[in-house]
Structure 1
Amino acid sequence: MTGRGGRVTDAAGGPARHVPVLAREVQDTLSPQPGGRYLDGTFGAGGYTRAILGAAPDLRVLALDRDPEAIAAGQALVAEMQGRLVLEQARFGDLDAVAERLGFTPLDGVVLDIGVSSMQLDDAERGFSFRFDGPLDMRMEKAGDSAADLVNQMEEGPLADLIYQYGEERRSRAIARAILAARKEQPITTTKRLADIVSSVVRQSPDGIHPATRTFQALRIAVNDELGELERALEAAERALRPGGRLVVVTFHSLEDRIVKRFLTERAGREAAPSRHAPAVATQEPTFTLVNRRPLTAQHDELAANPRARSAKLRAAERTLAPAPEAAPPGGPKKKGR
């Protein structure tokens, strides 16, 4: 399960560490300025927020997180910053509305670190990782349908499609069949039981990735609508940033990175690779200029200290004077499972 601070193999089965990934690159690219107003859309353990606040004594940060536990844990930093940090429980897809409500717009910078955090992976009771046995939950906000609800209620076809689309798992149909057979005997309520079911039909890969990794990733993304929230967050940042303000996004797997790359490429007025799932987009005045043409990745010293940085990619763009376009309608059909 990839995510914030997480490589696929390490996030699922290795030791978790609360280390902000690409911290130097994020700070250098965001380039916080004195008196600025910045938004950290994925507060987590507060690594990026603390670094931004340390750049200048008079800048302010609005930090968001969906997870109530992250908000509670961050209150000590709020008190330490004496009014320079506002910490709000919210989805980053709503960042423009939250920033406006709290008097932070226009923003000088937005940073997004996509996916699940180390703290969530470390807590067996949250059910994000099969590294520990725990309830099959995966809800970042501790509300709504859980992963257990999905695996125990979905029909075979839609469940296979979900695992294929969000997990890029080629054995999705076999996994869905095994899940339906197992839940007839007893509801699937723990991470270990689901991991064992998947492992019964998916062989260990040569690179050591656990057979259940992609299935767990797919369920987590679906439970939290992670890709939909990412698309909303990119458009929200576009609306909230001032001209010259910067958007910095760190992703950890190809599904996230493709969304960010396509959005920034289109908004920068460059020709993106055509998608057979999306209609042609009319040419518009660029709302962003690309800061880095190629994504930044971790340097050797960071990889040695934190293997989770191995799959991280940083993309960034700077806001232009052009107005943000109106929101586009939902995209095309989903891929089918195999």
Structure 2
Amino acid sequence: DCLVTPARMEPLVEEAAAAARAEVAEDDASIASETEGLLEEYEEAGLDPPPKSWFQRLCCEAKDVQGAVKEATNRYTLLAMLVALVASYYALVGQYGKVGKTTHTVEGIARNTQEARAFVQRVRTLPSTEEMEDLKYSLSHSVSSIGVSMSENVTLGTLVKPHPMHGHSHMKLPDEWYKCVHIGVSTYDMVSPNNTREDQRQQSSELYDALISLTPEPTAVLPWVCETNTTYWTIEGWAVRFCYDHLQDLGFLRPGVDKARWAKASKAVESVARRYDQLLIMQWYSYEWGHPPDDSSDPHSSVLQEIVPIRSGLQPLRSSAVAYRVNAELPPPEYVRVPGRRIT
């Protein structure tokens, strides 16, 4: 009685198949109902129905990207992108890619033009090491002549050779050189005076006007010629005299004994010298070698000649040494020979 024959199984199979078909139909109806609901929602929202194939999905994603780009690229974003692009181009390419423009200066003057040649003349280049050595030699061995009046000049130098006739070389300078500071400045080309341009020579009168109107006011502005016989190195200019009592009356003399007391006068001359494209100035001032005794009215002092660079990179030119007069009158002899008979 427990055995199931094929004849008895057929109704069971049909019932199971019918149940499966009913379940599938129910699922299809549910899916269709959900799909219809989604379609109705999309229609109510004004949206396109969801894609069914991969191509439709790809097109849908492309539309989404296009819409996002359209929203991002408003006028403010485009303006910011343009500014960033221009700034990046100028920083990386623009300032070095100008055809026919110089890349060594910010002036941007076209090459091979009159403006470029004038600009090169205005720019001061540093002398080479050899040129600075030659210039220092010429300055150290030079002799300066300063016209103190219409009929007299004072000639002085540091490495002064003895006179061939009387042998004297270390001659004392006038009292003004111990009571005043003298500062020499020129419009000549210090490195190569022979190559001094004509317009530089003609600026000598302008330099005089600039020096005579300095603050502090100079005591005098005297003609100055500096030359070296061995190398024929010669320049012309002006020696500005500042006497200590005159500076004190003007309120420009500091207390002390070193050259810092008349530093304002020196700085004023340096400023004018730079305006005329000069590399250095030469100054003479008194220097006391220790304190004299209380009962001595003649301190042990000398006049120093100092080469002062006024441009950066020229410190090897700086030097100082004691200066002596060359063209002074002969000192009186220590004894006088009296003619007479020989004493035995």
TM tier, shorter chain? under 0.3
Pick the structure with more strand per residue.
2
- Per the normalisation by structure 2, the TM-score is 0.18
**TM-score of the superposition, structure 1-length normalised?**
0.18
